Amino acid sequence: MAQRPIWRGHFRLALVSCPVALYSAHRDRGTLRFNLINPATGHRIRMLTVDAETNEEVARRDLVKGYEFKKNHYLLLSDEEIDSVRVPSSTTMTVEKFVPADTLDPIYFDASYYLAPDGDAGEDVFAVLRDAIAASGTVALTHVVIARRERIVAIMPMGDGLVAHTLHEERDLNSAGDVFDPIAKMKSDPEMVQLARQLIDRQTGVYDPKDVEDRYEARLRALIEAKLKGEGLAEDEVEPDRGNVIDLMAALKQSLGQSPDETAPKAAKRSRGKPKAAAAAKTQSAKPVKRAPGRRRA
């Protein structure tokens, strides 16, 4: 069954435009869902739409939208009134600027949509715009109204068409500084970084969409199948102790297939050079203490 567009309008660059349509890039693949059940009867419960004051049930088709302008006072708005405030991006995506593709941080990406010609008219214009954007290595920024909200959109080439990513606004994101500032002064050991690079090089490959799998959902489905058969589910691996103190250098070398003994001379040398640090490390091993996240063992 052919997809139905979620938006239809025009894609415009200066005085050049063509009719286009947006199609959702994501689909519901049968995500595992649960119903709320009354355990006393085994029956599903039913959510009712009721008047908050009278407790009388109200049909959803009879409801209207209301804006609370003061406590418990609402201004009613009809669909026609809401539609009357349409802006140009309701029907036309006009390119406002182009930015280098590598300057757009993926953290701003939200939903994705396929952008394609809407009918035969304007296909030649669409092809020219698609190929020009691809050749430039840039991303086109524009606005579009989706679900009664104007969103900024990044448009880039994908295969024979274009893909449009709605972007989060800056105010939609939590401050990264709140999380990263406490670790800004942390320094790493160059030798350990080099070992970690070797691990990265060893596991570097090409992205394959098949690599992405919801293992949690798979386990849930396995649990359901096992319970339906009257069986249990095998225990998963035990989660590592978050307070465990490890010898990072030894762990890196073991990951590369090197013997832990190869780390002993250097470890001993560091211990002899810093007796206080060695004594502190010994005390830590005997009695684990609470450590700040990400702090490396001395």
User: Which is higher by pLDDT, 40 or 234?
Assistant: 40
Domain boundaries, the chain: 1-171, 187-197+244-289
Percent of residues, the chain, with pLDDT higher than 70: 80
pLDDT of residue 286: 42
* Residues 24/113, Cβ–Cβ less than 8 Å: yes
Average pLDDT over residues 16-40: 88
- Mean pLDDT check: name the lowest of 138-142, 161-165, 168-172: 168-172
How many Cα atoms occupy the beta-carbon half-sphere of 297 within 13 Å?
A: 23
The 3-state DSSP class for residue 265 equals helix
* Residues 76/131, Cβ–Cβ less than 8 Å: no
User: Which is higher by pLDDT, 241 or 191?
Assistant: 191
Query: Is the pLDDT assigned to residue 100 strictly greater than 80?
Result: yes
User: Which is higher by pLDDT, 218 or 38?
Assistant: 38
Query: Is the pLDDT assigned to residue 298 strictly greater than 70?
Result: no
| pLDDT band at residue 1 using 50, 70 and 90 as cut-offs | low
User: Which is higher by pLDDT, 208 or 74?
Assistant: 74
| pLDDT band at residue 228 using 50, 70 and 90 as cut-offs | confident
Average pLDDT over residues 277-284: 43
Domain 1-171 class in CATH: mainly beta
How far is Cα of residue 51 from the mean position of the Cα atoms in its chain?
37
* Residues 166/25, Cβ–Cβ less than 8 Å: no
Give me the sign of the Cα torsion angle 92, 95, 100, 104: negative
- Cα–Cα–Cα angle for 164, 87, 125, nearest 5°? 45
